[in-house]
A and B are shown apart, each in its own frame.
Chain A
Amino acid sequence: MTETAASPAALKPPRSQWRDVWDQFRTHKGALLGLIVLVSLVLFVTIGPFFRDAPDLTIAQQIKLRNKPPSWEFPFGTDQLGRDMLLRMMEGGKVSISVGLVAMLISITLGSTVGVLAGYFKRLDGPLMRMTDLFLALPLLPLLLVMVMLFREKLAGALGPEAGTFLLIVSAIGVTSWMQAARIVRGEVLALKEREFVLAARSIGTPPRRVILRHVLPNVMSPIMVAATLGIASAIITESALSFLGLGFPPDFPTWGRLLYDGVEQMQLFPARVIWPGLAISLTVLSVNYIGDGLRDALDPRIRGR
């Protein structure tokens, strides 16, 4: 999301459409704030670990530091095994943010493509929507178990264990979460297709590809944006669900969803352990939501003109 918003400014072609979009986007306070928060979060998880080395302790030394409250040395405290929570939040965020964004992109791309195609081309509507019904009906857990069983070792062999697991997880989440977006987009496209401006474009012989890209897609952006925002939240949570099932990253690999889950049991004793990951997830989702809002306004020519 950040790239599409930020790169046009860097290109600077004279009075390009993207320039207008960026100008409009900048005026949206919420969106700008969201962008700043998201960029800070990304910096926190990517650059942060460079400034905070994992202390080189033996287990015996590390365990003495367990369950420490926040302090100067450990701003977020330590966990039940004496690990630095701040560092775990950074490491966890790397996975959660990247899984959230990538899985959301996969799901939104898949969903919008299926939705637009099904809504626009009558012949494709039946088969595509029946496929959507099928995917909606499949039980999620066995489906994930099967995917992991079939592909984990192969992907890990081809790409290395970490990249393999990442790809597997984002595709697993993407493939199992596109259906809602597809149904919504299709519903909108069905209605749009009969609107005057689309009819006009079609009647003058505009090829379907252009009609879809120029007239249909921009008008279904808002539900797609909502689906995208909600998609990030559910991708982050689904990722953690996968790891409690042992289907995700190795067990010593922290992610925000997992930290939150592990903290829930001891919420009364160590409230910080749920507050930090909970806050991080919510902030990510909120910032993406506002960026989405800004982007939608910026992409809408009617609003941009005002």
Chain B
Amino acid sequence: MKMKAALLGAVALAGLAPAAYAERGADGHVNILYSQAPSTLNPYLSSGTKDIENASLVIEPLAGYDEKGVMIPRLVDEIPTLENGGVAEDQKSITWKIKPDLKWSDGSPVTADDVVFTAEYCMHPEGGCAQLAKFEGVEKVEAVDPQTVKISFKEAKPNPYLAFVGSTTPVLQKAQFANCLGAAASTCTEQNFGPIGTGPFRVVEFKTNDVIQLEANPEYRDPAKPAFATVTVKGGGDAASAARAVMETGEFDYAWNTQIPPELQQAMEQGGKGEFVSGFGTLVERIEMNMTDPSPDLPEGERSTAKHPHPILSDLKVRQALSMAIDRNLLVEIGYGNAGRPTCNLVPAPEMYASTDNTGCLTQDIEGAKKLLDEAGWTDSDGDGIRDKDGKKFSLLYQTSVNPVRQDFQALIKGWWNEIGIEVELKAVDGSVFFGGDAGSPDTFQKFYADVEMYANNFDGTDPEAYLAEHTCAKAPRPDTQWQGENINRYCDPAYDAMIAELGKTGDLEKRAELAKKLNDMLTKESMTIVPLVDRGRLSARSKTLGGVVLNTWDSELWNASDWYRMK
């Protein structure tokens, strides 16, 4: 026994999973803390990260991503590609082959019918499926044989890995959800709270917005896993208290998203009970420049619309000056520490899509910014310390959502902009209002009744096409779209729209990457309508006794919970 423990320790130190020695359920219980409590375990009804990640302990997609963003098979043996014939020559279909002898946690076999049903479930017109975008362009999903699913697209799909790839679109069991199609989705509380899956754990008890209790799935495909017999996922609180529960009191083994100030991170790590793990994905904190005039003097319905270009920010030199005045390195140091890095890119990852020569913004240049403003005609003609032009003062309203780091950023950026002679008024809006799309509220980020605003956004999976396509002219929020739309800054350039259309038709990966970089540069360094600040990583806390944790930002953070084990 001692020998075994020593071996385990050695293996753990070497950073290898002790799979060969482990036995299912041998390591007892593990406690996980989510500062946002999961409200359902059906990702098709709620697309909140908290819900999707917890569901990933139970239900799985056909394929997922590893921590490097590389696709890995889950319920299949092999990822279908053009080379192996899984993706059709014309890119109009993809065929997945499910692993043989795969079983649901109730013992019944997983078949192609389950996949077909899941597609039907999400694509039902009355279901209100949160992952519908993943099924866009899907013509039909059919079972070729009990192990084979073919997904056909309406037109050639350069990126066919949307549906059933990644934890947002797991496979549901047909037998369980058969009566939950469409409008009936809401009545299936029992199913939504306790889906039967193929993942390493199965649900014992689910209390919405509070706690989940799980136990090892007896039918899990790897007989040696998971190492833990039971799991508790508790929800609620805030990032700091979640970090404290792992790092200081040791009550929990893993805490999700413990984004706290760098000084506090250091102090907590000194406690010795746990450590922070971080990983980078595509989340970028940015400032968006309003290209349209948000002035309250304009009639309602014309504020912040393409009808009135912004009186100050329409000038490229002004936007460049605003970006130059910002010291991104300091922002990272103050706000994120190891969980952030300065960036000038909208698409900072994956590597093949990230523009490499866009680094000009990383050095602050206050004098250069002043010079640009002088060139643009903004000078301090009345000597009050604030620049003006044609009798108009250079004054900006800068809004963001309520969040301590964002408020610190606001204060710093306001300071820098003051230094180059710009008057700044700050505003912080409650997140549920800011990010809610209520067309009646003046404070939503889509309405953008401010000159500049700051928030963070990212994209699902590894392909940035849909993300970049958000900035086409047609997607600007405006009254006739009920202020819905993703082109927040109202950037509008026909050349950009044309390039997006080209990207949609390009299948070759190299070419796609080249186009994506060009699009990224157009939005950032060439036009500065989007001023990226920080590439934000994910920061979570794990206990020093919890082994096997690999932080993954491309998929669920609990993606490899089956490999987690207790370090002895």
User: 1/0 contact trace for B402-429 toward A, CB 8 Å?
Assistant: 1010011011101110010000011111
Q: Which residues of A contact B433 (CB under 8 A)?
A: 145, 246
Contact assessment for B419 and A59 in the assembled complex, using a CB-CB cutoff below 8 Å: yes
A81 to B262, CA, bound (A): 13
B407 contact set on A, CB distance < 8 A: 251-252
The answer to whether A251 touches B426 (Cβ under 8 A) is yes
Q: Mark B235-269, 1 if CB is under 8 A from A, else 0.
A: 00000100000000000000000001101100100
| A23 close to B (CB within 8 Å) | no
Chain B binder among A194-202, A232-240, A263-271, A291-299? A263-271
Q: How far is the CB of B510 from chain A (nearest CB, A)?
A: 42
Contact B408 A145 (CB under 8 A): no
With a CB–CB cut-off of 8 A, which chain B residues contact A250? Answer: 425-428
In the complex, B334 has a CB within 8 A of chain A: yes
Contacts of B84 in A (CB 8 A): none
A81 CA to B443 CA, complexed, in Å: 27
In the complex, B222 has a CB within 8 A of chain A:
no
Find out whether the CB atom of A262 lies under 8 angstroms from the CB atom of B404: yes
User: A245 touches which one: B327, B402, B414 (CB < 8 A)?
Assistant: B402
Q: Find A251's partner among B263, B296, B330, B427 (CB 8 Å cutoff).
A: B427
Expressed in whole angstroms, the Cα–Cα distance for A306 and B416 within the complex equals: 65
Q: Is the beta-carbon distance between B411 and A266 smaller than 8 angstroms? A: no
A246 near B334 with CB under 8 A, answer no
A149 and B441 contact, Cβ closer than 8 Å, known pairs A265-B240, A265-B260, A269-B267: yes
Contact indicator B334/A245 (Cβ below 8 Å): no
Interface string of B538-566 (1 = CB under 8 A from A): 00000000000000000000000000000
How far, in whole Å, are A212 and B334 apart by their CA atoms in the complex? Answer: 60
- B419 touching A81, Cβ below 8 Å: no
Q: Is the CB of B410 within 8 A of A252?
A: yes
B426–A246 CB distance below 8 A: no
Q: Does the CB pair B415–A59 fall under 8 Å? A: yes
Which residues of the other chain, B, contact A265 by a CB distance below 8 angstroms? Answer: 240, 260-261, 264, 404
Q: Which residues of B contact A251 (CB under 8 A)?
A: 402, 407, 410-411, 426-428
Shortest beta-carbon distance from A249 to chain B in Å:
10
Residues on A with C-beta less than 8 A from B240 are 265
Instruction: Judge whether B493 is part of the interface by a CB distance below 8 angstroms.
Output: no
Say yes or no: is B442 at the interface (Cβ < 8 Å to chain A): yes
B416:A59 contact, CB within 8 angstroms: yes
The yes or no answer to A7 lying at the interface (CB within 8 A) is no
B331 shortest CB reach to chain A, Å: 11
Q: With A59-B412, A145-B433 known to touch, is A81 a contact of B334 (CB < 8 Å)?
A: yes
CA distance A142 to B267 in the complex (A): 38
* Whole-angstrom CA separation of A80 from B410 in the bound complex: 13
- With known contacts A252-B414, A269-B267, A246–B408 Cβ distance under 8 A: no
Is B401 engaged at the interface, CB distance under 8 Å to the other chain?
A: yes
One of A60-68, A123-131, A214-222 at the interface = A60-68
- Which of A60, A63, A157, A251 is most buried by chain B, counting CB atoms within 10 A of its CB? A251
Residue ID in chain A nearest B366 by CB atoms: A58
Closest to B417 in A: A59
Q: Which residues of B contact A252 (CB under 8 A)?
A: 407, 410-411, 414, 426
**A contact residues around B351 at 8 Å (CB):** none
Q: Which residues of B contact A153 (CB under 8 A)?
A: 296, 442
Cα distance A293–B267 when bound, in Å? 45
From 24 to 66 in chain A, residues with beta carbon under 8 angstroms from any chain B beta carbon are 58-60, 62-63, 66
User: Known: A246-B430, A251-B407. Contact between A266 and B425, CB under 8 A?
Assistant: no
Residues from chain A with a CB closer than 8 A to the CB of B410 are: 251-252
With A145-B430, A251-B410, A265-B240 as given contacts, are A58 and B261 in contact (CB-CB < 8 Å)?
A: no
Residues on A with C-beta less than 8 A from B428 are: 246, 250-251
Report yes or no: A81 in contact with B411, Cβ–Cβ below 8 A.
Answer: yes
Indicate if the CB atoms of B404 and A246 lie closer than 8 Å: no
A247 at the interface (CB under 8 A from B): yes
Cross-interface CB contact of A59 among B264, B327, B402, B430, cutoff 8 Å: B327
B356-415 contacts to A (CB < 8 Å): 366, 401-402, 404, 407-408, 410-412, 414-415
A81-B426 Cα distance, complex, nearest whole Å: 16
Q: Is A247's CB under 8 angstroms from B419's CB?
A: no
Chain A, residues 61-100, CB within 8 Å of chain B (1/0): the string is 0110011000000000000110000000000000000000
* Proximity bits, A251-281, B CB within 8 Å = 1, else 0: 1100000000010011011000000000000
Report the Cα distance A262→B519, complex, angstroms. 40
- From residue A137, how far is it (CB to closest CB) to chain B in Å? 22
Q: Which residues of A contact B426 (CB under 8 A)?
A: 250-252
Point out the residues of chain B lying under 8 angstroms from A247, CB to CB: 430
Contacts of A268 in B (CB 8 A): 267
Most B CB within 10 A of own CB, among A58, A59, A62, A161: A59
A67 touches B263 (CB 8 A): yes
Chain A residue with the shortest CB-CB distance to B443: A149
How close is B75's CB to chain A, nearest CB, in angstroms? 42
Q: A63: which B residues are within 8 A, CB to CB?
A: 330, 334, 412
Chain A residue nearest in CB terms to B440? A149
Contact between B334 and A244, CB atoms less than 8 A apart = no
The answer to whether B408 and A81 touch across the interface, beta carbons within 8 angstroms, is yes
Complex CA distance for A246 and B419, rounded to whole angstroms:
26
Set of chain B residues within 8 Å of A59, measured between Cβ atoms: 327, 330, 412, 415-416, 419
Contacts A81-B412, A245-B430 aside, 5 further interface pairs with beta carbons under 8 A come to A59-B327, A246-B427, A246-B433, A246-B443, A266-B261
Shortest 3 CB-CB distances between A and B: which pairs? A59-B415, A246-B428, A251-B428
A residues engaging B (CB < 8 A)?
58-60, 62-63, 66-67, 80-81, 145, 149, 153, 157, 161, 244-247, 250-252, 262, 265-266, 268-269
Chain B contacts to A: CB under 8 angstroms: 240, 260-261, 263-264, 267, 296, 327, 330, 334, 366, 401-402, 404, 407-408, 410-412, 414-416, 419, 425-430, 433-434, 441-443
